[in-house]
Amino acid sequence: MEDVVIRTLEKVDLRDPILVEGLPGVGNVGKLAADYLRDQLGAKPLATIHSKFFPPQVYVNESGIIRLVSNELAYWKAPAGGGGRDLLVLGGDYQGISPEGQYEITERVLAFCAELGVREVYTLAGFAQGRVVETPRVLGAATVAARVEAMKKFGVVFSRDDPGGGLIGASGLFLGLGRIFGMEGVCLMGETSGYFVDPRSAEAVLKVLGKVLKVEIDFTALEAKAHEIDRIAQKIHEAEQRSAEPGAAPAASREDLGYIG
Amino acid sequence: MEDVVIRTLEKVDLRDPILVEGLPGVGNVGKLAADYLRDQLGAKPLATIHSKFFPPQVYVNESGIIRLVSNELAYWKAPAGGGGRDLLVLGGDYQGISPEGQYEITERVLAFCAELGVREVYTLAGFAQGRVVETPRVLGAATVAARVEAMKKFGVVFSRDDPGGGLIGASGLFLGLGRIFGMEGVCLMGETSGYFVDPRSAEAVLKVLGKVLKVEIDFTALEAKAHEIDRIAQKIHEAEQRSAEPGAAPAASREDLGYIG
Amino acid sequence: MEDVVIRTLEKVDLRDPILVEGLPGVGNVGKLAADYLRDQLGAKPLATIHSKFFPPQVYVNESGIIRLVSNELAYWKAPAGGGGRDLLVLGGDYQGISPEGQYEITERVLAFCAELGVREVYTLAGFAQGRVVETPRVLGAATVAARVEAMKKFGVVFSRDDPGGGLIGASGLFLGLGRIFGMEGVCLMGETSGYFVDPRSAEAVLKVLGKVLKVEIDFTALEAKAHEIDRIAQKIHEAEQRSAEPGAAPAASREDLGYIG
Amino acid sequence: MEDVVIRTLEKVDLRDPILVEGLPGVGNVGKLAADYLRDQLGAKPLATIHSKFFPPQVYVNESGIIRLVSNELAYWKAPAGGGGRDLLVLGGDYQGISPEGQYEITERVLAFCAELGVREVYTLAGFAQGRVVETPRVLGAATVAARVEAMKKFGVVFSRDDPGGGLIGASGLFLGLGRIFGMEGVCLMGETSGYFVDPRSAEAVLKVLGKVLKVEIDFTALEAKAHEIDRIAQKIHEAEQRSAEPGAAPAASREDLGYIG
């Protein structure tokens, strides 16, 4: 089979579209943000991406229906007459599971997006601080100096030390390989502990992105999710303290945080 | 060499054939079931599948004759005039030993089966419960809702929680990739402990499949195998209890259970 | 680059040639035997095989000259008028270092040999018994029953239990894939402890092969090597016993046995 | 995507050019030497090499600008009328991260260099002695005896025992595969402890290479770097001695040595 199989569900004509990428990773920040953006905008499925560089796996939903693991491109058309630009949102179940797979999948998706007219990319990710982060900042990296300056105006932090060793995985590669396709772009990284799924960090990232892209996003549902995670984390914390006492039983487990990884 | 080499042994013309897949896996349930079905029906060898994604290994039989590890497709023609459909049964020594290999082999076998007219697939597998299962249920997953409903009538259980993380390996992939070839299908999973080879679980799976496919299967030999496993397991259990006593020697070892995978 | 690169050093015309394979493996028996056969016959270099499935490594000889790791085919022409058949001997530094590499290299070498007219293959290997073997037997496996019977007459042992799990690596694969090229063959396995390089086992294998191929082999040098290994092993044994006593120092180390793996 | 992507930045016409390779490895000696040579000569960027056999990674510089990991070829034109030969210097972030990747990248770069007229290669590396090396010698290995003799005149040591097991990685492979392209060459290995980055060993290597290539190199900056490493190593040594005393705190950590590996 082909290394990467892209099945187009619809033929679309997009106006100077911008690609937004958010796949599973640290704190699942990128995936949470991209999926939320897609859902809030009501972006429509455009293409399904399968690859032998994903795990050989199907998911089974509550009704017993299987679905092969994939990445998905959705599109959103800006309101007519508003002068806005259309969006492509890339989300999915996995990043490529080998270095080679990362390159192959990214390159094929970029080639597909280049055909659709994409010249600008935003990649969304988490940045693990290894400690609890009360108010996550949004760190940035960009393909050119002009974009660094532009992002600073939106409050994005460009730190001399973070990320020290560079970016590993899709969020870096979409920018690095994107340049070969003549695309410029920015990686927005929400600070997170790295210990569990972090909707609050995803919200910080999306707030910046919303301003940059000039799209309105209602954060109610994402905030509810963040509170739910807070609540579970609090319960675990209390349970762990109680379990220091004799005869204690856990009220919630770390698995309830549903950390994907 | 080609990634996957399919050598056809015979040219056949099949009537709306159904593919049944059963390869080594949890409790070896899928392989036991598919091999037993093939033997009971007297299905004939149709094609041998070699691949560089199998281990570089030959088996040596009791006479000293070697055989390269492979998968095998066998065919069975339904009795003429009965209006029944023909079957293809896929069994073998191994699943692909890398994620990439799983995809490559599955895709090539599906392409071959599509050429033969297959539009319907049943995959057979074990589902590890991590505890002794006295009366194994048959759990299901399917490509479309209509098949979920159809299977429920045969006693197949579609559980909200099982399999939670989805299916990994050939039994999921034949359904997931099968959809790309326009095939619909069902995965039948026999509950099993996951600790040893489980003919009783294979029997449960085959009883459902026999009704679905409307083929008669004599379970005498499979039940004898199940009793043999029970007998060995019982001996091990007794030996382990005795070995708690001083001066005890084992009467049988876990290796007698011949657990493959 | 090509997966496997075969560079022919000479153009030869061979008379119904037989391929003898012996690569590094258990006790290095196969490689010792094949290299010794090549040297004793004065077989000439025919082709060098490089592959990206070998380690990215060069060896440096005592003069400081590098050589890229490789496999090597040598040829030997039977004395004219004697009615004998020519030989090809395959030896080298490594087997392919991945399952996929094993298949690719074996397939390409077989294709090359098929072009030269090879229809018969002997693969040489060690069989690890996990204990000291005073007088190594030669175990066999073959592609067809007739060859099993033929080999028994030369004292080759076809045991119901050995090798139980089949053969893994080049010695099995050259027979298993060889069948696809219409070749028949035999694997000759010298019993060995599996703990160190075993020239005595290689000698047992070669004695059988010499009779089968009707070639005279002088074993003086191989026996000297075997005595040398015996001597080192004895020293280690003594040193290990002494080191049980207080104040002892080792006279030789296990590394002197130069076990390759 | 292609396994290896070479993007040429400029079209050049070189006079009998010599390739100098120095990539990350033991003590980072090769990379330090090649990068220093390039900088001192003011060699100009010629081509950028990307590959799916590198990690899927981008680096972020102090200004927040990303750069996809790569290897880089730079060229230096010898002064006109001096009769000297031009140079190509290969450096970069990584060697290929799999054996297959090592072969693929090396082969493609050699093919590219062969097009530019390269017939001679010098590879630079470190040789780990596992102990502190006060005055590093430069060990050698070469493709032909004449070059061994030529190098001895420059003080290069060809030792019967070093490197015993051969050379693994790019420095060996560029010579081993280079022969297939009709190139001859030498590997120059600076002795180093193997425990940290070693500019002093790189200097020893470059001093030999400068004489061989008849290029003037100013070592001031490299010696400053060596002193800096010495200073940090000394601090660590003192700190470790103090930490044997009660109540001690480290003044510097081994990480300050920035060992890449």
**B50 phi, psi to nearest 5 deg:** -110, 155
Q: Which amino acid would we find at residue D235?
A: K
Tell me the average pLDDT across B243-255. 55
Question: Three-state SS for D81?
Answer: coil
* Overall size of chain B counted in residues: 261
Q: What is the DSSP letter of A214?
A: T
**Tokens 């292609």 sit on residue:** D2
Chain A environment of D66 (Cβ under 8 Å): 141-143, 166-167, 172, 175-176, 187
Chain D environment of A104 (Cβ under 8 Å): 1, 52
Q: Using alpha carbons only, give the angle B153, B155, B156 rounded to the nearest 5 degrees.
A: 100
Q: What percent of chain D is modeled with pLDDT above 90? A: 80
ipTM: 0.89
Question: In this predicted model, what pLDDT tens digit does every residue of A55-74 receive, in sequence order?
Answer: 999 999 999 999 999 999 99
Question: In this predicted model, what pLDDT tens digit does every residue of C162-196 receive, in sequence order?
Answer: 676 789 999 999 999 999 999 999 999 999 999 88
CA-to-CA distance for C125 and C201, rounded, in angstroms?
9
Secondary element (H or E) of residue C34: helix C29-41
Q: Hey, which chains touch C, using 3+ CB pairs under 8 Å?
A: B, D
What the block records as the tokens of B235 is: 């001996």
Picking from C99, C107, C179, the nearest residue to B1 by CB comes out as C107
Question: In this predicted model, what pLDDT tens digit does every residue of A108-134 receive, in sequence order?
Answer: 999 999 999 999 999 999 999 999 898
CB atoms within 10 A of CB B2: 11
Question: In this predicted model, what pLDDT tens digit does every residue of C116-141 receive, in sequence order?
Answer: 999 999 999 999 999 989 899 999 99
Query: Is residue B89 over pLDDT 70?
Result: yes
Q: Which of residues 126-165 of D touch C (CB under 8 A)?
A: 140-145, 148, 158, 160, 163, 165
Q: What percent of chain A is modeled with pLDDT above 90? A: 80
CA-to-CA distance for C68 and C99, rounded, in angstroms?
21
Question: Three-state SS for B178?
Answer: helix
Question: In this predicted model, what pLDDT tens digit does every residue of D19-32 receive, in sequence order?
Answer: 999 999 999 999 99
Contact status, residue B233 vs residue B251, Cβ threshold 8 Å? no
Cis-peptide into A99, omega within 30 deg: no
Tell me the average pLDDT across B145-173. 90
pLDDT of amino acid C82: 81
| Residue (of C61, C89, C87, A102) closest to D162 by Cα position | C61
CA-to-CA distance for A71 and A55, rounded, in angstroms?
12
Q: Which amino acid would we find at residue A104?
A: E
Question: In this predicted model, what pLDDT tens digit does every residue of B100-137 receive, in sequence order?
Answer: 999 999 999 999 999 999 999 999 999 999 998 989 99
Picking from D148, D169, D177, the nearest residue to C63 by CB comes out as D148
| Residue (of D91, D89, D139) closest to D118 by Cα position | D89
Integer angstrom CA distances of residue C185 from A138, A141, C25, C88, D250: 66, 61, 19, 14, 67
Query: Is residue A160 over pLDDT 90?
Result: no
Mutation for testing the B interface, residue in C23, C103, C148, C179 having most B CBs under 10 Å: C103
Mutation for testing the B interface, residue in C53, C98, C100, C110 having most B CBs under 10 Å: C100
What the block records as the tokens of D8 is: 């040429």
Tell me the average pLDDT across D156-184. 90
**B27 phi, psi to nearest 5 deg:** 65, 5
| pLDDT band (50, 70, 90) for residue C29 | very high
Contact status, residue D54 vs residue A100, Cβ threshold 8 Å? no
Question: Among A13-17, B219-223, D159-163, D200-204, which is the least confidently predicted range?
Answer: D159-163
Say what angle helices C199-213 and C29-41 make with each other, to 10 degrees.
Answer: 50
Average pLDDT taken over every residue of chain A? 91
pLDDT of amino acid A248: 46
Q: Where are the beta strands (DSSP E) in B11-153?
A: 18-21, 44-51, 57-60, 66-68, 71-76, 87-92, 120-128, 138-142
Chain B residue with the nearest C-alpha to that of A60: B166
Chain A to chain B, count of Cβ pairs less than 8 Å apart?
Answer: 81
Q: What percent of chain B is modeled with pLDDT above 70? A: 92
Query: Is residue D260 over pLDDT 50?
Result: no
CB atoms within 10 A of CB C178: 27
Mutation for testing the D interface, residue in A102, A174, A177, A187 having most D CBs under 10 Å: A177
Whether residue C5 and residue D175 make contact (CB cut-off 8 A), yes or no, is no
Q: What is the DSSP letter of C192?
A: E
Question: What are the start-end ranges of the H helices in A74-167?
Answer: 99-115, 145-152
Contact status, residue A95 vs residue A25, Cβ threshold 8 Å? yes
Picking from B57, B65, B97, the nearest residue to C145 by CB comes out as B65
* pTM for the whole structure: 0.91
Q: Hey, which chains touch D, using 3+ CB pairs under 8 Å?
A: A, C
Question: Three-state SS for B108?
Answer: helix
pLDDT of amino acid A258: 46
The CA distance from D64 to the nearest CA of chain A, in Å, is 5
CA-to-CA distance for C27 and C15, rounded, in angstroms?
33
Q: Which of residues 210-229 of C touch B (CB under 8 A)?
A: none
Contact status, residue D121 vs residue D21, Cβ threshold 8 Å? yes
pLDDT of amino acid D227: 92
Query: Is residue B249 over pLDDT 60?
Result: no
**A107 phi, psi to nearest 5 deg:** -65, -40
Mutation for testing the C interface, residue in B52, B54, B93 having most C CBs under 10 Å: B52
Whether residue C55 and residue D168 make contact (CB cut-off 8 A), yes or no, is yes
Top pLDDT among B174 and C166 is at: B174
CA-to-CA distance for C190 and D12, rounded, in angstroms?
60
Whether residue A104 and residue D62 make contact (CB cut-off 8 A), yes or no, is no
Picking from B96, B104, B172, the nearest residue to A58 by CB comes out as B172
pLDDT of amino acid C244: 67
CA-to-CA distance for D199 and D228, rounded, in angstroms?
10
Chain C to chain D, count of Cβ pairs less than 8 Å apart?
Answer: 81
Query: Is residue B251 over pLDDT 50?
Result: no
Chain B residue with the nearest C-alpha to that of C185: B66
Chain C residue with the nearest C-alpha to that of B62: C160
Chain D environment of A143 (Cβ under 8 Å): 65-66
What is the dihedral angle through the alpha carbons of B132, B136, B137, B143, rounded to the nearest 10 degrees? 90
Contact status, residue A155 vs residue A208, Cβ threshold 8 Å? yes
Mutation for testing the A interface, residue in D2, D4, D60 having most A CBs under 10 Å: D60
Secondary element (H or E) of residue A192: strand A184-192
The CA distance from B146 to the nearest CA of chain A, in Å, is 10
Say whether residue C50 is in contact with chain D using an 8 A CB cutoff: yes
Query: Is residue A250 over pLDDT 70?
Result: no
Q: What is the DSSP letter of A251?
A: S
Query: Is residue D149 over pLDDT 50?
Result: yes
Query: Is residue A247 over pLDDT 60?
Result: no
Chain B residue with the nearest C-alpha to that of A1: B104
pLDDT of amino acid B259: 41
Question: Among A14-18, A162-166, D121-125, which is the least confidently predicted range?
Answer: A162-166
Picking from A144, A145, A166, the nearest residue to D58 by CB comes out as A166
Average pLDDT taken over every residue of chain C? 91
* D with B: touching (≥3 Cβ pairs within 8 Å): no
Average pLDDT taken over every residue of chain D? 91
CA-to-CA distance for A203 and A188, rounded, in angstroms?
12
Q: Please enumerate in sequence order all residues whose Cβ is within 8 A of that of A139, keeping only pairs 6 or more positions apart, or say none.
A: A127, A156, A157, A158, A159, A162, A163, A188, A189, A190, A191
Tell me the average pLDDT across C197-213. 97
Whether residue A173 and residue D56 make contact (CB cut-off 8 A), yes or no, is yes
CA-to-CA distance for C124 and C23, rounded, in angstroms?
8
Whether residue A55 and residue B170 make contact (CB cut-off 8 A), yes or no, is no
Question: In this predicted model, what pLDDT tens digit does every residue of C30-63 receive, in sequence order?
Answer: 999 999 999 999 999 999 999 999 999 999 999 9
Say whether residue B175 is in contact with chain A using an 8 A CB cutoff: yes
Strand order in the sheet with B167-168: A66-68, A57-60, B167-168
Is the torsion defined by CA of C103, C105, C109, C111 positive or negative?
A: positive
Chain A environment of D58 (Cβ under 8 Å): 141, 166-167, 172-173, 175-176
Tell me the average pLDDT across C69-81. 95
The CA distance from C117 to the nearest CA of chain B, in Å, is 19
Query: Is residue B247 over pLDDT 80?
Result: no
The CA distance from C5 to the nearest CA of chain D, in Å, is 10
Whether residue C1 and residue D107 make contact (CB cut-off 8 A), yes or no, is yes
Q: Using alpha carbons only, give the angle A175, A94, A256 rounded to the nearest 5 degrees.
A: 120
Query: Is residue B252 over pLDDT 90?
Result: no
Q: Where are the beta strands (DSSP E) in chain C?
A: 4-8, 18-21, 44-51, 57-60, 66-68, 71-76, 87-92, 120-128, 138-142, 167-168, 184-192
Question: Among B54-68, C103-117, C218-232, C235-249, which is the least confidently predicted range?
Answer: C235-249
Question: In this predicted model, what pLDDT tens digit does every residue of A198-213 receive, in sequence order?
Answer: 999 999 999 999 999 9
pLDDT of amino acid D83: 80
* Overall size of chain C counted in residues: 261
| pLDDT band (50, 70, 90) for residue B250 | very low
Chain C environment of B51 (Cβ under 8 Å): 103
Q: What is the DSSP letter of A252?
A: S
Chain A residue with the nearest C-alpha to that of B145: A65
Contact status, residue A70 vs residue A48, Cβ threshold 8 Å? yes
Longest dimension (CA), chain B: 67
Chain C environment of B24 (Cβ under 8 Å): none
